[in-house]
Structure 1
Amino acid sequence: MTSTILPPSTNATPPPGPGGGFGPLARQIREAGLLEPHRDFFLATAILDLGLLWLTGTLMVALQGSWWALAIAPLAAIAAAQLSFLGHDIGHHQVFTDRRYEWIAGVLVGNLLTGLSFGWWNDKHHRHHANPNVDGVDPDVADNVIAWSDRQAARRTGFGLWFAKHQASFFLPLLTFTGWSLRVQGVRALSERKGWKGVVEAALLAIHVAAVIGFLWWIAGPVFAVVFILVMNLCYGLIMGMSFAPNHKGMATPEPGQRWDHLRKQVLTSRNIAGSVLVDWWYGGLNHQIEHHLFPSMPRPNLKRAQPIVRQYCAELGLPYHEVSVVQSYREIWAHLDQVA
């Protein structure tokens, strides 16, 4: 299914207007009750995710002493990815209204169970939400390895320029390192963070690392532990990278100095992915990226219900609403990387 008016990479200047017409849409969403808490869903999700983690451990215990346990690494990566999506929900105030409970749940799911710094990721992710696809402001399009825009490619020289010209070929392999990148950046941020929250986060990360290494060592020895961690994190990186990349990559990028209103800033830079309940689960609800960016605190199960309201409202304003299939989303990303090259 494809629903769009605007080619993904087009940078059409949105029409001016105070608030950009977001208020009436927000009222419709609020009156429909779509911002109300959905605690039953998140309780069920937590039970399902923890059950998947338990299944992973149980299968590995059953294969103790055998390298066949390495075949469980992809399942472990899926469990970690689903827990990461739950941490994402928590960080967006979808689960708790009390920030104390939110932080406790966030560090337990993020630091202890997943091995990612919740505090660092939450700060980074909220900066992304405030200015999606804005070069120099959105940390998710920072000019590091991949050149995400013509402006970034134009700044490249030497090896960086050569790499940018061939980046479409390297993109998929690079996604496998997403997990390592998230972990390293989180640890680096914690090493510079002061205060008791940073100490708690660091302690929980240390417990996570010790528990994982100890468990894997017990399963089949130190060499197995190292290989399993490598394979699992490559799978985890691929899952997370391919879940987040379709959200904005190849979509509109505001020019430096442009001030887009909230509605256009979130809609024009986001891409939805059409699909079934399985797609919703695999992407952690982020396949409804337009709705999520417009209403970050909207509980995940309500995003699909909000979609027809948002789509209709965009149509009334003549505002492009971009939704494609899973396969088409990756085609557009690769086409964009080729175009930049």
Structure 2
Amino acid sequence: MAPQTGSTGKETQPVSTFPRLFTWEEIRTHNGRGQDQEQWLVIDRKVYDVSKFAKRHPGGSRVIKHYAGQDATDAFIAFHNDKSLVKKYLKSLLIGELAPDQPSFESNKKQSLLEDFRELRCTIEKMGLLMPNYIFFSLIFLHFLVLDAASWLVVWYFGISLVPFLVGIAFFTIAQIQMGWFQHDLGHCSVFRKPRWNRFLQIVVITALKGAPASWWNHLHNQHHAKPNCFRKDPDLNMHPLLFSLGKSLSVELGKKKKKFMPYNYQHKYFFLLAPLALIPFFQLSVFYFAIKRKKWLELFLTVLFNIRVCLMYVPLMGFNNFMVYYWLARYLESNWFIWVTQMNHIPMHIDYDKNKDWVSTQLHATCNVNQSLFNDWFTGHLNFQIEHHLFPTMPRHNYWKAAPLVKSLCDKHGIEYKSKTLLTAFVDILHSLKDSGEHWLEAYLHG
């Protein structure tokens, strides 16, 4: 049998002289929810059984499960820079390929859009936009270390009168949020070319300098990128329905079931207070639960060490009670910063169950951008370019602005709205979206 050309344009070798052939109908039944709970996925027309490998998957078992029974070609390409390394693992998981009469794209995929997107990715790779600028990231790293040191030095030198106390809190908060944006870059393997270097420094930054396990963050965040705004697959939607009712279809469904955990018709009024407050205990408790449950002992040790370190640094200067105010006020401010920036690109967008759309449509329908400026880039960790970040999650953030015109042209060609707005509008749209969702819930609750 002659070599075949896959949907990504690369030549692939057959499994054997007579490979096992599958149809999409058969593949879709192996989605992890049947009696056998087998998980199959398709990459470049090849069919892989990842049922057992999922538990060992570095990106987390649930990321693979979210694509079980579906085509994962574009997700696979998006998440993995080192394809040759990953394909070594795939080789032992190969069980067959799509039958010749089966289309490369499932019936509900937009073939022309995906073909143009793959051409765009090739263009971006040739332009070198997936290559990191080490000077840029060195400056990012240096600037939050300086801010972190300044938070302690201000209190050490000036004491704990009101002004230095508040200035110290401000420096600590800014340093922590900027560390968060940087570890986010490391988690996407966009700072170094080698994944292991990114993983090592991510553990240093998020675990030793922020007090959270790197594997915990990656476990949640990779799922978000795999299926953004897909209920029960995107962990960022776990606030629905306990605290908030999100999206029109989910809100109507909740209302028809006569479920009322909160007065959702007022959620746009309590979001600014409740969302940041809820995030603090969630982060603080779940990090320890995750590390213990997954037996991440090194990360657990470094997390505990972080808490000991900050106590030893600040308690002698201000006493325990003042330190508690200092630390938890900074965490509350950081939580506000984090929740508004991360949700401004998603909550106002389409939220629903997974409809197994193509990669491009899935990302574009769930994300929007905020206009570029030096302040917006710094304030959001370049997450104002959420569209480009979601389409190319391993792209270094300093290159988003170069890719943006190319992505916009792709959207214009296929009639897809490329949304970009001011920072203030993006914040206000969160509240507008929550208000609309709450009204849909109330209408269905009363009359559904």
What TM-score do the two structures reach when normalised by structure 1? 0.89
Distance apart, 1:15 and its partner CA: 6.8
Conserved 8 A contact 1:74-1:236: no
CA shift, 1:103, in A, is 2.1
Determine which structure has the larger helix proportion and give its number: 1
Residue 138 of structure 2 is aligned to residue 138 of structure 1: no
Shift of 1:310: 0.9
Comparing 235-244 with 153-162, greater Cα deviation is found at 153-162
CA distance in structure 2 between the aligned counterparts of 1:243 and 1:325, rounded to whole angstroms: 12
In 2, distance between residues paired with 1:256 and 1:269? Answer: 12
1:98-109 correspondence runs (5 A) = 98-109=194-205
Report the counterpart of residue 211 of structure 1 in structure 2: 309
Higher RCO (Cα < 8 Å, 6 or more apart)? 1
The Cα RMSD (Å) is 1.9
Task: Provide the residue aligned with 1:125 in structure 2.
Answer: 221
Max radius of gyration: which structure?
2
1:95 maps to 191
Question: Which of 342, 365, 368 matches 1:271?
Answer: 368
Greater shift after overlay, 255-264 or 75-84?
A: 255-264
- Structure 1 248/213 Cα, relative in aligned 2: closer, same or farther at 3 Å? same
Q: Which residue does 2:429 correspond to in 1? A: 332
For 2:325, the aligned partner's letter is V
Pair 1:42-2:137 in alignment: yes
Deviation of the 1:88 alpha carbon: 0.2
Structure 1: distance between partners of 2:402 and 2:125 = 12
Of 231, 243, 246, 2:344 maps to: 246
Change (3 A) 1:50 1:317: same
Q: 2:274 is matched with which residue? A: 174
Contact 2:113-2:414 within 8 A present in 1 as well: no
- Match for residue 8 of structure 2? none
Unaligned segments of structure 2, at least 5 residues: 1-107, 439-448
Match of 1:9 in 2: none
1:220 lines up with 2:318 in the alignment: yes
Q: Deviations over 1:219-249 (max 9, x none)?
A: 1111101111121111110111111011211
For 2:370 and 2:321, the matched residues in 1 are separated by: 40
Q: Which residue of 2 is the match for residue 5 of structure 1? A: none
Give the aligned partner of residue 165 of structure 1.
265
After TM superposition, the structure 1 stretch with the greater mean CA deviation from structure 2, 292-301 or 98-107, is 98-107
Report the equivalent of 1:295: 392
Where in structure 1 are there 5+ consecutive unaligned residues? Answer: 1-13
- For the residue of structure 2 that corresponds to 1:53, the secondary structure is helix
Find the aligned partners of 2:354 and 2:187 in 1 and give their Cα distance: 29
Contact 2:230 2:354 survives alignment (8 Å): no
CA distance in 2, matches of 1:83, 1:60: 21
2:254 aligns with 155
**Contact 1:18–1:261 (CA under 8 A) maintained in structure 2:** no
Classify 1:104/1:45 alpha carbon distance in 2 versus 1 (closer, same or farther; 3 Å): same
1:190 aligns with 291
Q: CA deviation at 1:264?
A: 1.1
Q: Given residue 294 of structure 2, which amino acid in structure 1 is its aligned partner?
A: R
Q: Distance in 1 between matches of 2:160 and 2:427?
A: 40
% identical aligned pairs: 24
Supply the distance in 2 between the matched residues of 1:209 and 1:83 (Cα, whole angstroms).
Answer: 16
Match in the other structure for 2:152: 57
In 1, the alpha carbon distance for the partners of 2:173 and 2:191 equals 23
Q: In the alignment, does 2:161 pair up with 1:70?
A: no
Task: Tell me, yes or no, if the aligned pair for 1:179 and 1:236 is still in contact at 8 Å.
Answer: no
The count of corresponding residues between Structure 1 and Structure 2 is: 323
Residue aligning to 1:16:
110
Q: CA deviation at 1:101?
A: 2.1
Distance 1:97 1:275, change over 3 A: closer
